[in-house]
Amino acid sequence: MNVYSRIKIRRSHLNILNEWALECAPMEAPALLVGKVETKNNGELIAIVSDVYPMPNIEQSTVRFQIDPEEYYKIFQAAEEENKLIVGIFHSHPMEAKPSGVDLPFMKLHGNIWVILSTTQQENRLKAYQYINDRLNKIKIEIVE
């Protein structure tokens, strides 16, 4: 399992995710973040997002989300064919941009970076986390133009 220090994402991708979150509000709005992993000389791993895929929340819930497994698999396969992988899972929260008790078990299972956007907060509304070795780690988000 990759242990990331940061995630790089384009501002244009964040705009797409923000619009998706607002469109779905107050329901949670999930998306898949596809890209590559860059390894620095010091061993630091950086997830670089190249594509974002807003996905319907088949739970239609304000406190949880679920992506259709068949749709998830299609994105997974397409990414693999391009030598990419799902580097992160995005979703919105109607409150704080931090993992809920519902999120944590899934974060442990997947090991991906989870990017969470608050649809109600004005400050600190976008955060990223990874659950590794029984610990929740905050991941730096680097926004590129």
- pLDDT tens per residue across span 71-125: 999 999 999 999 999 999 999 998 899 999 999 999 998 889 999 999 998 888 9
The answer to whether position 1 is within a domain reads no
Range of the domain at 105: 6-144
Specify the pTM. 0.95
Q: Is the pLDDT of residue 24 over 90?
A: yes
Phi and psi at 124, nearest 5°, equal 50, 45
The answer to whether position 51 is within a domain reads yes
Residue-wise DSSP of 15-46: HHHHHHHHHHTTS--EEEEEEEEEE-TTS-EE
Q: What is the pLDDT of residues 32-84, one digit of tens each?
A: 999 999 999 999 999 999 999 999 999 999 999 999 999 999 999 999 999 99
Number of domains, the chain? 1
Q: What is the pLDDT of residue 131?
A: 95
Task: Say which CATH number the domain at 111 has.
Answer: 3.40.140.10
Contact 129, 113 (CB under 8 A): yes
Residue-wise DSSP of 69-98: HHHHHHHHHHHHHTT-EEEEEEEEESS-SS
